[in-house]
């Protein structure tokens, strides 16, 4: 159901001016409808398959590795690395590429980042396609890292908490964060392996060995887990934690699609429901028999339908 694999027609290195160099790529049609792909994580980085959610004949597809992720450098850096730095980065990229406004496509953490950007720069957005909604609220963090998923994944939960001494398990997220960014590299790596395995397990409806292998790859496991923990322990840098829900009125005039797997373990469906309640004009699609991953067939089909629909809609505008 995905579009054929393609290579970028241009790549760029964007200097943020505060120590980060961002990897940016463009694919598809240089004269097409601009769309920005926002990857998950945070810290997840790009995968080539991300280009395949868009008709390459109709879209100018822009993708970038967020600060510290993928091919952006320095890898794993937490310095000047917050949501609001990323929002500023997106504006910098848009200006550099000379794009007046673009469609935002984000899943998981990318959905929260898309909302943060659109609410800050609504004039630069033509619409939003969001999947597996993540707002980094306390209730979401507690579900994943403290209590909730332990009841659905009891054996994997025991593997996840094993690196944390029982005396510190009253706040597992904080305990992991201390170790992941701490001075002991052996402990940090041990925790990174356990952390990213847990992320892989809960990202699909059934365990995907290929995803587990990808997320626990030697060269990415530590920086990816450090960035993810950095954002999680800081609540996504949203103040108050309902900031993205409270700001929905700024974007209700924009067309939006919210696609959520009914059995998403990573980003519980209540979050998407809460967003849709605040944004009744959006097309809210709860997908049965689906989890979190964009590559689950039912989720992929909805995403492709959404990008095709937006291509029809935006292509007719003068």
- Do 308 and 263 belong together in one domain? yes
- Do 48 and 86 belong together in one domain? yes
- Do 309 and 288 belong together in one domain? yes
Question: What mean pLDDT is predicted for residues 298-303?
Answer: 98
Please check the confidence at residue 315 and state whether its pLDDT lies above 90: no
- Do 213 and 168 belong together in one domain? yes
Question: What mean pLDDT is predicted for residues 256-278?
Answer: 97
- Structural domain span for residue 122: 10-136+238-315
Question: What mean pLDDT is predicted for residues 266-274?
Answer: 97
288 exposure class (CB count in 10 Å sphere: 0-12, 13-18, 19+): exposed
Please check the confidence at residue 1 and state whether its pLDDT lies above 90: no
Average pLDDT value over all residues in the chain? 96
Would 5 be classed as within a structural domain?
no
Q: What are the catalytic residues? A: 108, 264, 292
- Do 226 and 199 belong together in one domain? yes
- Do 77 and 181 belong together in one domain? no
Q: List helix spans (H) across 98-220.
A: 109-120, 138-145, 154-161, 172-180, 185-201, 209-215
Residue count (the chain) = 318
Please check the confidence at residue 235 and state whether its pLDDT lies above 50: yes
37 beta partners: 63, 105
Please check the confidence at residue 31 and state whether its pLDDT lies above 70: yes
Q: Which letter does DSSP use for residue 48 in this model?
A: G
List, for residues 145-176, the tens digit of each pLDDT value: 999 999 999 999 999 999 999 999 999 999 99
Question: What mean pLDDT is predicted for residues 121-125?
Answer: 98
- Do 36 and 96 belong together in one domain? yes
Predicted local distance difference test score (pLDDT) of residue 316: 64
Which whole-number Å values give the CA distances from 315 to 4, 5, 99, 103, 166, in the listed order? Answer: 21, 23, 15, 12, 57
- Do 28 and 175 belong together in one domain? no
Show the 3-state SS of 248-301: HHHCCCCCEEEEEECCCCCCCHHHHHHHHHHCCCCEEEEECCCCCCCCCHHHHH
Predicted local distance difference test score (pLDDT) of residue 318: 43
Residue finishing a domain among 236, 268, 298: 236
In which band, very low, low, confident or very high, does the pLDDT at 317 lie, cut at 50, 70 and 90? low
Closest by alpha carbon to 244, among 9, 45, 83, 41?
83
Would 3 be classed as within a structural domain?
no
Number of structural domains (the chain) is: 2
The torsion defined by the Cα of 77, 81, 86 and 88, in degrees rounded to 10, comes to -120
Would 4 be classed as within a structural domain?
no
List, for residues 32-59, the tens digit of each pLDDT value: 999 999 999 999 999 999 999 999 999 9
- Do 168 and 297 belong together in one domain? no
Strand 283-287 to strand 256-261: parallel, antiparallel, or no bridges (unpaired)?
parallel
- Do 149 and 176 belong together in one domain? yes
Predicted local distance difference test score (pLDDT) of residue 227: 98
Q: Give the orientation angle of helix 83-97 with respect to helix 109-120, to 10 degrees.
A: 70
- Do 224 and 202 belong together in one domain? yes
In which band, very low, low, confident or very high, does the pLDDT at 90 lie, cut at 50, 70 and 90? very high
CATH of the domain at 262: 3.40.50.1820
- Do 41 and 118 belong together in one domain? yes
Q: How many whole angstroms separate alpha carbon 127 and alpha carbon 105? A: 9
266 beta partners: none
List, for residues 183-232, the tens digit of each pLDDT value: 999 999 999 999 999 999 999 998 888 888 888 877 789 999 999 999 99
Is the torsion defined by CA of 76, 81, 87, 92 positive or negative?
A: negative
């Amino acid at each position: 159901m995905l579009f054929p694999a393609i290579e970028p027609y241009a790549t760029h290195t964007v200097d943020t001016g505060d120590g980060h160099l961002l990897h940016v790529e463009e694919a598809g049609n240089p004269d097409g409808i601009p769309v920005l792909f926002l990857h998950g994580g945070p810290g997840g980085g790009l995968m080539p398959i991300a280009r395949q959610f868009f008709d390459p004949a109709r879209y100018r597809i822009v993708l970038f590795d967020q600060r510290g992720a993928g091919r952006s450098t320095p890898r794993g850096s937490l310095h000047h690395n917050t949501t609001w730095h990323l929002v500023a980065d997106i504006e910098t990229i848009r200006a550099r590429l000379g794009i007046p406004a673009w469609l935002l496509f984000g899943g998981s953490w990318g959905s929260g980042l898309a909302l943060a950007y659109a609410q800050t720069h609504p004039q630069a957005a033509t619409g939003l396609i969001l999947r597996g909604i993540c707002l980094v609220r306390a209730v979401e963090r507690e579900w994943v890292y403290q209590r909730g998923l332990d009841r659905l994944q009891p054996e994997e939960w025991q593997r996840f908490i094993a690196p944390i001494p029982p005396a510190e398990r009253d706040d597992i997220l904080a305990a992991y964060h201390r170790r992941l960014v701490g001075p002991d590299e052996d402990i940090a790596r041990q925790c990174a392996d356990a952390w990213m395995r847990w992320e892989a397990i809960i990202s699909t409806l059934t365990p995907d060995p290929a995803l587990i292998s990808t997320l626990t790859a030697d060269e990415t496991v530590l920086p990816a887990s450090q960035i993810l923990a950095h954002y999680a322990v800081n609540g996504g840098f949203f103040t108050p934690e309902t900031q993205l829900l409270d700001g929905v009125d700024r974007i209700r005039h924009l067309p939006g699609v919210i696609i959520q797997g009914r059995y998403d373990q990573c980003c519980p469906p209540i979050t998407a429901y809460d967003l849709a309640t605040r944004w009744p004009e959006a097309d809210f699609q709860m997908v049965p028999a689906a989890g979190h991953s964009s590559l689950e067939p039912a989720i992929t089909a909805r995403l492709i339908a959404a990008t095709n629909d937006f291509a029809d809609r935006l292509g007719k505008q003068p």
